[in-house]
Amino acid sequence: AHEGIATELRLYDRLFTEAQPDAGERNFLELLNPDAKRVVRGYLEPSLRAVAPDAKVQFERHGYFVADRVDHRADAPVFNKITGLKDSFGK
């Protein structure tokens, strides 16, 4: 679409690679997930320029996001993923 607005999307995953990073002898810092935060760029509908910081929105087939309270601006929107949608396709 010619009207799409450039956007930053921040996608979050588990902070640690193991469920109990404090169990055992390993240093918990060794168990940090290098993919815990991914930043991707994309294009969204122009109407999302009007979204206020801290507003929640659903991006179809992707999940729920919140407009970043610090970095989100009408000319450079930033959205943080809150939660994904349950995938029941093929079940």
- The CATH code of the domain that includes 66 is 2.40.240.10
Reply yes or no on whether the pLDDT at 89 is more than 70: no
What single string gives the DSSP state of each residue in 20-70?
-TTSSSS-GGGGB-TTSEEEEEEEE-GGGGGPPTT-EEEETTTEEEEE-TT
Using 50, 70 and 90 to split pLDDT, how confident is the model at 85? confident
17 occurs within a structural domain = yes
Largest CA distance in the chain: 55
Q: What is the pTM of this model?
A: 0.80
Please check whether residue 69 lies inside any domain of the structure: yes
Q: Which amino acid is at 56?
A: K
- Asked whether residue 89 is assigned to any structural domain, the reply reads no
- Residue 65 is part of which domain span? 5-84
Q: Is residue 59 part of a domain?
A: yes
Q: Does any domain span residue 37?
A: yes
Is a pLDDT exceeding 80 seen at residue 88? no
In this predicted structure, what is the pLDDT of residue 84? 83
Q: Is residue 90 part of a domain?
A: no
State the total domains in the chain: 1
